[in-house]
Chain A
Amino acid sequence: MALGDRIRRSQLWKSIFRHPAPVDRRNRVVVVLTNLVLHLHPVSIPKHAVQLGFTWCMGGISFFLFLVETITGVLLMFYYRPTVEWAYNDMLAFRDVVSWGIVREIHRWAAHAMVITVMLHMLRVFLTGSYKPPREFNWVVGVALLVMTLLLSFTGYLLPWDQLSIWAITVGSNMARSVPFVGHEGPGQQLLSIGGIDLITAASDSRFLLLGAESVGEETLLRFYVLHCVAIPLLAGFGMAVHFWRVRKDGGISGPL
């Protein structure tokens, strides 16, 4: 008996894979359908779906970059400590003393690239009219994913804890001062008061919530670290699941009309 057949007939193999070898069309379909990883992709796709000129592959590349960010990000977490004392030193250590420290550069460049590819993906979807019914809801999901990509970039930008990142987050988070009603410099802020006492002040508005303090400090660093490594990736992962699922449910990838 050939080695391949012996492996396929072993109990170990059969306990994991429930289907026969992909020797004919039906079994090739079954292989994809019964595999958790493979089933994310359709069993069959229209010819135009692999036309680079139509899709630019930007959605796929964005997802690939997200996976790169996840893997390199987890690796960085083994060394990086989100404290005022260590953050900057740990960041420099990737360059100076950690073997294979290029992981940090990959994380950084892939982050820049992901913002670009997500935007190009949006542009492609717009130019091909793929946002039109029945895909209008998935466009909305996609916009939410764009916002999460930008928030991941924004929160990650603080983590090197150098002058550039501290002042960039200071400037960026100043926008939260001006949010209507909940920013202490925003319109309608004075409406939220009880007995002449303002509820929305510099120490209780949306910027304060974002920073965890009145200015960028160690509270902000920890807060952004948790948002960057846990909260937003979880949300984005869920959003992507919905996004990909909707592509399938809305009739597969859109094609040229």
Chain B
Amino acid sequence: MEASQTVPTSSGSAAESAAETPRRGFFCTAGRIALGGGFALLGFAGCLWTLGIGRFLFPNVVNQPPNRFRVGRPGDYPRGKVETRYKEEYGVWVVHGEYRGTPQIYALRTVCTHLGCITIWQEAERKFKCPCHGSGFRADGLNCEGPAPRPLERLAIRIADDGQLEVDRSRVFQEELGQWQDPESYVSV
């Protein structure tokens, strides 16, 4: 900035100012380079901050229950049992039902396949009913009434090392894609 042209030069003879001209030219150029560099630095810092703020807004830690959790032993589930205690925290039903005549234990997501509302288990009717648009699903998860276009989704389930059932919410199995045949989508009893 000190090189700007408004800086008063020392009063003097023509010889002096002639001697100063190249020096002033040098400072002019240096000042422009410094100014340009300063703005470049400012722009760089601005880019860095924009990226940093973008990164800041992506959470590294979220407060939600783990994807894998244990739900007791197969013996805890008598035939026909629909366990609702894991619905609130994990969004999962653990059911000892049957699929195509084969009895098995499986985990169903509680999310309706119509528009994503949370369905409710009606023990008296033995149906999962959606409060939003009236979709209904049987205990095996197949859609039987209302606008839902496909069955409820299964989540991966297996017998863990300690003999307990372990549900993995990160893996989904869809009936209409034939994925319920996958042995990881149920536990045989």
Residues of A within 8 A of B59 (CB): 79, 98
> B7: CB under 8 A from chain A?
no
Q: How distant is the Cα of A28 from the Cα of B127 in the complex, in angstroms?
A: 74
* Proximity string of chain B (45-67) to chain A, C-beta cutoff 8 Å, 1 when within and 0 when not: 00000001101111111000000
Interface residues of B in 105-135 (CB under 8 A from A): none
Interface residues of A in 65-115 (CB under 8 A from B): 75, 78-79, 93, 97-101, 103
Cβ distance A151 to chain B, nearest Cβ, rounded Å: 27
Cβ distance B148 to chain A, nearest Cβ, rounded Å: 36
**Are the CB atoms of B60 and A97 closer together than 8 Å?**
yes
Residues of B within 8 A of A100 (CB): 52-53, 55-56
Cβ distance A42 to chain B, nearest Cβ, rounded Å: 18
Q: How distant is the Cα of A101 from the Cα of B52 in the complex, in angstroms?
A: 10
Residue with the greatest number of chain A CB neighbours at <10 A, chosen from B52, B55, B56, B60 = B56
**Are the CB atoms of B60 and A103 closer together than 8 Å?**
no
> How many residues on A have C-beta within 8 angstroms of the other chain's C-beta atoms?
10
Cβ distance B83 to chain A, nearest Cβ, rounded Å: 29
* Proximity string of chain B (144-157) to chain A, C-beta cutoff 8 Å, 1 when within and 0 when not: 00000000000000
Residues of B within 8 A of A99 (CB): 52, 55-56, 58, 60
Q: Classify chain B's interface size.
A: under 10
Cβ distance B58 to chain A, nearest Cβ, rounded Å: 7
Residues of A within 8 A of B57 (CB): 75, 78
Residues of B within 8 A of A97 (CB): 60-61
Residues of A within 8 A of B60 (CB): 97-99
Cβ distance A23 to chain B, nearest Cβ, rounded Å: 18
Cβ distance B109 to chain A, nearest Cβ, rounded Å: 28
Residues of A within 8 A of B56 (CB): 75, 78, 98-101, 103
Residue with the greatest number of chain B CB neighbours at <10 A, chosen from A78, A98, A101, A103 = A98
Cβ distance A24 to chain B, nearest Cβ, rounded Å: 18
Residues of B within 8 A of A101 (CB): 56
Q: How distant is the Cα of A103 from the Cα of B54 in the complex, in angstroms?
A: 12
Residues of A within 8 A of B52 (CB): 99-100
Cβ distance A238 to chain B, nearest Cβ, rounded Å: 27
Q: How distant is the Cα of A98 from the Cα of B55 in the complex, in angstroms?
A: 9
Q: How distant is the Cα of A101 from the Cα of B15 in the complex, in angstroms?
A: 60
* Proximity string of chain B (90-114) to chain A, C-beta cutoff 8 Å, 1 when within and 0 when not: 0000000000000000000000000
CB-CB nearest in chain A for B54: A100
Cβ distance A64 to chain B, nearest Cβ, rounded Å: 13
Interface residues of A in 169-202 (CB under 8 A from B): none
CB-CB nearest in chain B for A103: B56
Q: List 5 A-B contacts (CB under 8 A).
A: A75-B57, A98-B60, A99-B56, A100-B53, A103-B53
